[in-house]
Copies of this chain bind each other. A is one copy, B any other.
């Protein structure tokens, strides 16, 4: 094969001479040395996660791990019932749902903040411009709005607090708040900066790339679904669901 095709992620299984990942020896520099989140960060970015950002990045990985019997958990549990032998299958069935509609807002918000930080001029003017632009296109600004939490989402507040305690520079977080203020100015009342918006800002603070930002939610939720699958093995809700759907009436055409 032409030399132009190569990878910088890791060595292949057929190479027993060395076991490397992103320039490090896996046995001595990764195993026992780095946590899951640190290794994930290294693998994706090719950089070491700074010590002071470990706590923040772990919080990002954890905050969307679970929220009880969500539709993703329901799907994982139902798929488990049909495919009880391969635990990864119910897990991925639920994880596939962490898509554009939900996690997409994370990357959407992250992309807006990233553009804003590189914007040269006045940040408040920039934010007002974004608000005007979305209003004109009649689209929602990703990361703002929540059906239950108002005026703030306590998870977003906590994420910002943890990040600031880790000495991030804070420019994305500041921008997220400015944008929130401009949204409020434009509509006359506040719109909650939600947890996915907060994640868009905080993941930028720790240098995780916008292009795969939503994977943080997907990996976290994958892990969370394992808890549901294990509970379903022992204390199933599947029978309640099946009973419920069996009672949905069939109607012949009118």
Query: Residues of A at under 8 Å CB distance from B?
Result: 1-3, 5-16, 19-23, 26-27, 30-32, 34-37, 39-40, 43-44, 46, 54-55, 58-59, 61-63, 65-75, 78-79, 81-89, 91-93, 95-104, 107, 148-149, 154-155, 158-159, 161-162, 165, 209, 211-212, 214-215, 217-220, 222-224, 226-231, 233, 235, 237-238, 240-242, 244-253
Is the beta-carbon distance between A19 and B83 smaller than 8 angstroms?
Answer: no
Is the beta-carbon distance between B32 and A158 smaller than 8 angstroms?
Answer: yes
Q: Which of B7, B58, B223, B231 meets A237, CB within 8 Å?
A: B7
Determine the residue in chain B with the shortest Cβ distance to A252. Answer: B23
Is the beta-carbon distance between B31 and A159 smaller than 8 angstroms?
Answer: yes
How many chain copies does the complex carry?
Answer: 4
Chain B residues, Cβ within 8 Å of A10: 66-68, 250
Which 3 pairs across A and B sit closest by C-beta, in order of nearness? A12-B68, A82-B97, A43-B227
Determine the residue in chain B with the shortest Cβ distance to A79. Answer: B97
If A88-B215, A240-B5 touch, whether A13 touches B43 (CB-CB below 8 Å) is: no
